[in-house]
Structure 1
Amino acid sequence: MACFIHFIPCMLYLKIKSTISNRGYKENKCVYLKRAMVCSQHIKLNASNIMNKNLNNYFYKLGLLFASTLCMNFTNKLVYCSLIFTFLMLILNCIAKCHGSKKATISIILCTSTSLALLCNKQYYIAGKLIRGLIPASLCAILIASYIGFKLFLKLKARYGFTISNCISLYISALVDHLIMGIFFTRIFPIHKIWLMIYKETAYTCLFTVVVYLCSVTVLYAKPIYRKLKKHLHPLVWFCRVYSKK
């Protein structure tokens, strides 16, 4: 076995030596070793740059997700709550798509728990009335609804694509969030007022979901058109640069 292990490098060396001699290279072995080391260093640098870029993108999305989670408890307007929740779910779906389900789960748990720690002493008023326990209930609703939403998004994405699966997950997660908050408000407001709040908030969420869908479709259709225009205009730009230098 030991002889066989020593035999393999010898055969590889003879193969490389014969290949070099057959192709007529004049460089010595040290030059090839230096080139191999330089190539390996370039590969390592490129890999590290890609990893750093992905990490930077993830932390940027995580910051936006945390800001959205925190801002949810600084307004009592239904339209603003719906807008912030739509934005929150859009960011979380992007994290789930680009970085996986595990990072998306960790992200939403981290954001909701940090927001709860920061807002634990905040008093929340609706129509001049102090609502106790609203912030923990709101963050719990966000955690449950967003988890259901991005899990549904990942299941539907392979079949329906990003735009449709994103819209479905936005709508379902918003409905779950509104129902959980409706259950919380049953001890404070009458039933007809709670149903009216759920109806209005769901309607606003549907409106913002349609806007997100139209923007996503526009971007998807605009990308190939932009690439084609860039490809056709590249010779013209090159000619203008050469002419301007003259």
Structure 2
Amino acid sequence: MCGRYASFRQAQDLADFFDVALVDDDAAELPPSWNVAPTDGARVIVERVLPAGATPSGDGGEGAGQRPTGQRPAGRRPASQQPPPAVRREMHVARWGLVPEWATDPSAGARMFNARVESVATKPAFAASLRTRRCVVVADGYYEWRKPAPGETRKTPFYIHPADSGPLALAGLYSWWRAPAPAGARGPWLLSCTVLTGAAQGRMTELHDRVPVVLDRAAVNRWLDKTVTAPDGALAALTAPPELTWHEVSPAVGAVRNNSPELVAPVAA
């Protein structure tokens, strides 16, 4: 599973690395964190469909920055005659813990910070997002706790990150939830997200039996592709992850009140 991660890189550095054309103000101003936990704000990258005639550097469109309406322009030509839609890659902030559209309260997202890749296509909370609302949750690394060895009583925390020290791209889904409001009023929209997890393989099994799904550069493009709406096609983008490395860190990471660069520092052997 993935229940804690670190995200301390500057937004513009992430935008340059992932070819993001627009960084939302909330994403640009989100402070660094070495202990991101469920219900915290998370930087996410999406691809946003733009209106006909718009360019990726222009304004407008549908995507994470604006709740999609689902409406079609009048007099639209048949799909076979339509040019490919223009898309723009954007960075936004979403609450970590996906709140389904049908939830009665945003607290439902607190336990949906992970989605199992084996069942994501059939779970009501995630199925619709898998088809049309996929995102990348950007991080610098994540934490995992190894079970106690014989004779030990506590789990041991480890910090896991790319071997090349680059940013980490976690396969995610996003959703929109609208807060209830009095009759005649319109409640605010809440953007939320979840991180996909799969079975650990190879050396990763030394730490835990579950891991977040990590994407390499090519897989990021396939995962965000708005033309792919079939669940099988989307999941086909989840290929072998880039090389990761890890080291033991302080148990202080287990308390959300602790948040400093020392949390990712290796402990003495």
Q: Shared topology, TM-score over 0.5?
A: no
Q: TM-score, normalised by structure 1?
A: 0.23
Give the helix-richer structure, 1 or 2: 1
- Greater strand fraction, Structure 1 or Structure 2: 2
Choose 1 or 2 for highest CA Rg. 1
- Higher relative CO (CA 8 A, sep ≥ 6), structure 1 or 2? 2
The TM-score, its normalising length taken from structure 2, stands at 0.21
